[in-house]
């Protein structure tokens, strides 16, 4: 079948133009290409693969509220749960897709009350046993941070920071990084203009709940490179203890490059840091005991969060033995994030769509459909050629009249 060279023009494009407005064909094609490019940016990967068979991975995870608040991979979120209520959880470490397992049970209030199956795995291999190594947190019910505020990505005005240990997300204001923002920033405003610890000056956040049970983290909090936010001497304000920045030729260098000896040291969990500043940890403890803005330390949210400077994790990898490293609540080396295969498929042309649809019809209907398609194509060419010769643009009214005539002449 010869190519027409004309892409399919969506009704959404035409709906944005008044009936009396003239729209030339290149503009329509350009708009169609723009919408297709936006779709590829939102869904850049192929979604015909479930990652269940690949085991526990660091991967993008979505929680399906309608299927028991369990986690599904990127492919299943589109192919199996597109009509369900989903919560995007971004990446989770060591997580296995729940879609083909028996734990994926639709809630009574969900759109489907019957047991569903993963469409990307063979039916005879389902259901699989629950993934007992998966870790489920409040994030899977759409709850984030320690503040209890509802999270809506469309209306959220604050940036959020991910804890390297528990992988929960925290508002910057709840970490005392900067005041709570009530309205979105203007395009020209700097998001981190008032941030106590800008994002490019630290490697990772360890939230207070993950710091508190671990003696090594608690002891080093507030020492060089182990930054914590504490009440300032000026009432109602905050300060940073343990800030460590090394600047050479205008660029920052990590602690690994500036403060460490060449030889690897073996240290045990809980041993004091060699660069600890005397009295800093005690000063931090005293500072956090103060009441700020009339709120006691027990009620104040955010006290005790730890911000690791660049190079701290590399240093721990050299300092600690295997047992101490295994006891840490966070990884010293970031695991590679699994990405599904890229979606390299080109947008279907009008001829390709027609061939696919017609090919699925019985022979008699297929022949009739082909005749109708060729008749429409010939009339469309004639209409466009007439406009081209006269120099007129194609308006929305022209397109609507064209298809109305087709329907009347059936």
| Distant-in-sequence, close-in-space partners of 311: CB < 8 Å, separation ≥ 6 | 203, 225, 254, 255, 256, 257, 258, 259, 260
* Maximum C-alpha span of the chain: 91
Q: Please report which helix (H) or strand (E) contains residue 394, including its range.
A: strand 394-395
> How far apart (Å, rounded) are the C-alpha atoms in residues 40 and 42?
6
Cα 375 to chain centroid distance, Å, stands at 47
Residues facing 160 on adjacent strands: 171
- pLDDT band, residue 361 (cuts 50/70/90): low
- pLDDT band, residue 280 (cuts 50/70/90): very low
Domain residue spans of the chain: 12-41, 52-139, 148-182+195-327
Q: What angle do CA 84, 88, 92 make, to 5 degrees?
A: 125
- Reported residue count of the chain is 410
- pLDDT band, residue 25 (cuts 50/70/90): low
Answer for the pair 356, 348: CB distance below 8 angstroms, yes or no.
yes
Tell me which residue of 322, 321, 288, 291 sits closest to 306, measured CA to CA.
Answer: 288
Answer for the pair 59, 51: CB distance below 8 angstroms, yes or no.
yes
Q: Which tokens go with 326? A: 């295994």
Cα 119 to chain centroid distance, Å, stands at 23
State pTM to two decimals: 0.64
Percent of the chain with pLDDT over 90: 37
Residue range 87-116, pLDDT digits in tens: 999 999 999 999 999 998 765 444 444 457
Give the alpha-carbon dihedral of 322, 327, 331, 335, to 10 degrees: 70
Q: Which tokens go with 353? A: 């769509």
> How far apart (Å, rounded) are the C-alpha atoms in residues 184 and 157?
5
pLDDT of residue 257: 39
Question: What is the spatial order of strands in the sheet that 226-231 belongs to?
Answer: 204-206, 306-308, 226-231, 238-241
pLDDT of residue 342: 72
- pLDDT band, residue 398 (cuts 50/70/90): confident
- pLDDT band, residue 17 (cuts 50/70/90): low
Residue range 61-72, pLDDT digits in tens: 999 999 999 999
DSSP string of 72-101? Answer: E-HHHHHHTTTTS-EEEEEEEEEE---TTB
Answer for the pair 52, 97: CB distance below 8 angstroms, yes or no.
yes
> How far apart (Å, rounded) are the C-alpha atoms in residues 226 and 313?
11
pLDDT of residue 163: 96
Q: How far is CA 146 from each of CA 139, 150, 175, 280, rounded to the nearest angstrom?
A: 11, 11, 9, 27
Q: Which comes out higher in pLDDT, residue 393 or 269?
A: 393
> How far apart (Å, rounded) are the C-alpha atoms in residues 34 and 43?
14
Residue carrying structure tokens 């469409």: 119
3-state class (DSSP) for residue 314: helix
pLDDT of residue 378: 76
Q: Please report which helix (H) or strand (E) contains residue 387, including its range.
A: helix 363-390
């Amino acid at each position: 079948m010869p190519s027409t060279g004309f892409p399919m023009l969506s009704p959404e494009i035409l709906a944005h133009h008044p009936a009396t407005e003239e729209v030339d064909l290149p503009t329509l094609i350009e708009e169609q290409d723009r919408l297709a490019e936006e779709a590829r940016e939102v869904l850049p990967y192929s979604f015909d693969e479930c990652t269940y068979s690949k085991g526990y991975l660091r991967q993008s995870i979505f929680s399906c509220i309608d299927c028991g608040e369990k986690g599904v991979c990127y492919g299943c979120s589109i192919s199996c749960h597109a009509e369900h209520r989903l919560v995007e959880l971004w990446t989770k470490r060591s997580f296995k897709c729940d879609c083909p397992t028996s734990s994926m049970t639709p809630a009574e209030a969900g759109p489907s009350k019957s047991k569903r199956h993963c469409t990307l795995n063979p039916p005879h291999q389902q259901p699989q046993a629950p993934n007992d190594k998966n870790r489920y947190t409040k994030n899977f019910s759409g709850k984030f941070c320690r503040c209890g505020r509802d999270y809506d990505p469309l209306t959220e005005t604050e940036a959020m920071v991910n804890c390297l240990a528990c992988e929960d997300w925290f508002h910057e204001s709840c970490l005392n990084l900067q005041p709570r923002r009530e309205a979105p920033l203007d395009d020209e405003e700097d998001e981190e203009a008032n941030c106590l610890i800008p994002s490019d000056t630290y490697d990772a956040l360890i939230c207070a709940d993950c710091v508190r049970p671990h003696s090594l983290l608690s002891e080093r909090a507030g020492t060089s490179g182990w930054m914590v936010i504490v009440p300032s001497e000026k009432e109602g304000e905050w300060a940073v203890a343990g800030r460590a920045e090394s600047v050479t030729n205008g660029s920052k260098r990590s602690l690994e490059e500036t403060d460490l000896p060449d030889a690897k040291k073996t240290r045990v969990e809980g041993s004091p840091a060699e660069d600890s500043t005397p009295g800093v940890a005690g000063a931090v403890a005293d500072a956090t005991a103060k009441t700020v803005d009339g709120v006691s330390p027990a009620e104040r949210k955010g006290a005790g969060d730890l911000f690791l400077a660049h190079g701290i994790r590399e240093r721990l990898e050299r300092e600690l033995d295997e047992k101490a490293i295994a006891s840490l609540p966070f990884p010293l080396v970031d695991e590679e994030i699994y990405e599904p295969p890229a979606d390299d498929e080109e947008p279907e042309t009008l001829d390709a769509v027609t061939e696919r649809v017609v090919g699925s019809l019985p022979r008699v209907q297929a022949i009739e459909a082909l005749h109708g398609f060729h008749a429409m194509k010939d009339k469309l060419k004639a209409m466009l050629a007439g406009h081209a010769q006269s120099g007129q643009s194609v308006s929305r009214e022209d397109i609507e009249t064209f298809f109305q005539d087709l329907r009347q002449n059936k």
